[in-house]
Amino acid sequence: IKGTVTVLVDKGIKIEKGMGFTDGVLGSGFFISKDGYIVTNHHVISDCVDPSYEGYSRLYIKLAEDTDTRIPAKVIGWDKTLDLALLKAEVEAPYVFKLGSSDQLDVGTKVYAIGSPLGLERTLTSGIISAKDRKLFTVGDVFQVDTPVNSGNSGGPLIDENGSVQAIVFAGIQNFQGLNFAIPVEYL
């Protein structure tokens, strides 16, 4: 859990029916290097890199061990098609995940998702690989998993029993419990 972060895109205030509400995007991410490189999903940070977005946006992370402090981050690179993004924060990572090889996974393999669903930091859920060959991208297959995934889990690691990242959580289908998806680590 120490190697995960909450990713926040602060979009300021939005006005609806004369009332002001905080606006933003919440996701998860994980460290891949000691010097602060973080992986998340493109859809979490898309407003930060979309040239057609004309609103305010600032990118922050919160460490799992210090959920009160917002640390500024910047987008280093992204791939909209694969829904992946690389961030950088000026922080020393408390833990760096090893990247695995999703070729080792079979249907029925136990996996764990770590993230911040609905802003509930430090959440660990478990499940299995339900299918390996789901065609949600034009470039290749993704995993279907029954690991509980909610809004805010996007960009978090899907790890095996040895703690190696095997995939990146990117989608849960609302109103369909247990129907969730993750991007194989090889795309990263």
Residues with a catalytic annotation lie at: 43, 83, 154
Q: What length does the chain have? A: 188
Q: How many Cβ atoms from other residues are within 10 Å of residue 185's Cβ?
A: 22
Give the whole-angstrom CA distance, residue 133 versus residue 115: 24
End-to-end CA distance of the chain: 20
In the 8-state DSSP scheme, what is residue 177? T
Please name every residue paired with 24 in a beta bridge, in sequence order, or none if there are none.
10
| 3-state secondary structure (DSSP) of residue 107 | coil
Q: How many Cβ atoms from other residues are within 10 Å of residue 72's Cβ?
A: 11
- 135 token code pair: 């065609």
Give the whole-angstrom CA distance, residue 36 versus residue 29: 11
Give the whole-angstrom CA distance, residue 187 versus residue 168: 9
Query: Helices H, strands E: what count in the chain?
Result: 1, 12
